[in-house]
């Protein structure tokens, strides 16, 4: 991360940006407005950024592309300035890998960082507080990282991380909402038995109950437009090839842009699990793990992105995001919007992650046009 900061900070400085690293580890570069020094304190600020961290065995574009695009966008301006300042932010942490808590960098900027998170420890027992100090920063100064009130807004470029744009043969999409998500863990408790001596009609097989329920998860998701539901993990006890499973524990992840529809779908899946367990003489336990509401992008910012695409001749498309992003955190602090870029094969969080040069160029063109739209709106 120090190497990344050094490389990007050098680039930012060459473009006339003032650069710092805040106490949450966010790299921040300010491109000044077109104004006199006397007026500087009254200048509003527009933020553009994304995250610099990734996941184990991740790719080269998730997050960091959005930060690099933001700096490249400033470079494309060729010294041209606006009535507002532009602050580029490379967030220190979005994925939540090391400490099990995502969006640490953007939470600090939004002023929603919970200091209790500093006590969380990584797999080596080092606390977040210690890690921040080891990096040379003061965790006690994290509140100072909050963006001032009155910010014009936030724009995030990001790879789609899915196959929709490639399937539609489109380079870009304007994100209108970041889907809400529900997560839960459920357990089917049956009775373990000998695989050779327990008759089929007398079994209380927990894995078969889980399998029947997983089929219902797929059926409901396929029948509900826009709904995605995933059973990504299942464990079986006692886990021997010659023993009827006595317990099966599964995860469920449900996402949709409409929170009411998502909630109803989760309730239906919970009832289905309960009914399957009752039919088979098993016990089912449902344990909620997450209930995160959807976050709509700002209508005016979305409209500006729409117009920017029209002005540059890029095909116009809107879509929801099934993944969470820093923009959803910043949306609580300021108007926020996102622009997705097509990624090859829809692959993300993998070394094969890739984007096309032409799509990157289209995103930069759209970014310049968006800043023009923002300038007009600022003077309106």
Digit-coded pLDDT (tens) for 252-286? 999 999 999 999 999 999 999 999 999 999 999 99
Q: Name the residue ranges covered by the structural domains of the chain.
A: 2-178+294-379, 180-292
Q: Average pLDDT, stretch 325-342?
A: 97
Domain 2-178+294-379 has CATH 3.40.630.10: yes
Q: Do domains 2-178+294-379 and 180-292 have the same CATH topology?
A: no
Digit-coded pLDDT (tens) for 122-167? 999 999 999 999 999 999 999 999 999 999 999 999 999 999 999 9
The dihedral through the CA atoms of 354, 357, 359, 361 has a sign that is positive
Dihedral angle of Cα 30, 35, 41, 44, to the nearest 10 degrees: -60
Rounded CA separation 131/120 (Å): 10
| CATH architecture of structural domain 180-292 | 2-Layer Sandwich (3.30)
Mean pLDDT for all residues in the chain: 95
Write down the H helix ranges in the chain: 2-14, 64-76, 104-110, 128-134, 164-168, 206-223, 259-279, 299-312, 326-330, 357-379
pLDDT score for 50:
98
Digit-coded pLDDT (tens) for 196-215? 999 999 999 999 999 999 99
Contact between residue 157 and residue 65 where contact means Cβ atoms under 8 Å apart: yes
Q: What is the pTM of this model?
A: 0.87
Contact between residue 313 and residue 362 where contact means Cβ atoms under 8 Å apart: no
pLDDT score for 39:
65
Q: If phi over 0 gives left and psi between -120 and 50 gives alpha, with beta otherwise, what is residue 72? A: alpha
Contact between residue 154 and residue 300 where contact means Cβ atoms under 8 Å apart: no
Q: Find all residues with CB under 8 Å of 241, minimum gap 6, and list them.
A: 195
What one-character-per-residue DSSP string does 118-182 give? GG-B-TTS-BHHHHHHHTT--GGGGGGGSPPTT--EEEEEEE--SSHHHHHT-SEEEEEEEPEEE
């Amino acid at each position: 991360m120090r190497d990344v900061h050094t490389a990007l900070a050098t680039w930012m400085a060459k473009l006339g940006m003032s650069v710092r690293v805040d106490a949450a580890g966010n790299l921040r570069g300010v491109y000044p407005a077109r104004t006199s020094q006397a007026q500087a304190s009254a200048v509003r600020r527009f933020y553009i950024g994304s995250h610099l961290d990734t996941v184990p065995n991740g790719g080269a574009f998730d997050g960091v592309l959005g930060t690099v695009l933001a700096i490249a966008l400033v470079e494309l301006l060729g010294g041209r300035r606006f009535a507002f300042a532009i602050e580029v932010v490379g967030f220190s942490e979005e994925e939540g890998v090391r400490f099990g808590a995502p969006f640490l960098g953007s939470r600090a900027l939004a002023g929603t960082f919970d200091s209790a998170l500093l006590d969380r420890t990584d797999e080596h027992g080092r606390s977040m507080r210690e890690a921040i100090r080891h990096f040379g920063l003061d965790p006690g100064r994290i509140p100072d990282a909050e963006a001032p009130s009155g910010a014009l807004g936030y724009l995030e470029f990001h790879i789609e991380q899915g196959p929709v744009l490639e399937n539609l043969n489109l380079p870009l999409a304007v994100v209108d909402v970041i889907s809400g998500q529900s997560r839960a863990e459920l357990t089917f408790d049956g009775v373990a038995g000998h695989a050779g001596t327990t008759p089929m009609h007398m079994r209380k097989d927990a894995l078969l109950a889980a399998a029947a329920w997983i089929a219902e998860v797929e059926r409901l998701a396929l029948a509900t437009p826009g709904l995605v539901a995933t059973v990504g993990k299942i464990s079986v006890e006692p886990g021997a090839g010659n023993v009827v499973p006595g317990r099966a524990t599964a995860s469920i992840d449900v996402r949709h842009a409409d929170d009411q529809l998502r909630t109803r779908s989760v309730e239906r899946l919970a009832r289905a699990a309960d009914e399957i367990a009752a039919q088979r003489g098993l016990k089912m336990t449902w344990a909620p793990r997450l209930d995160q509401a959807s976050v709509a992008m700002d209508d005016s910012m979305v409209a500006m992105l729409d117009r920017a695409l029209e002005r540059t001749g890029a095909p116009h498309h809107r879509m929801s995001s099934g993944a969470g992003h820093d923009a959803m955190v910043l949306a609580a602090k300021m108007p926020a919007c996102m622009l997705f870029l097509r990624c090859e094969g829809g692959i993300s969080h993998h070394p094969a992650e890739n984007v096309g040069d032409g799509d990157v160029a289209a995103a930069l063109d759209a970014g310049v046009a968006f800043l023009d739209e923002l300038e007009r709106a600022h003077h309106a």
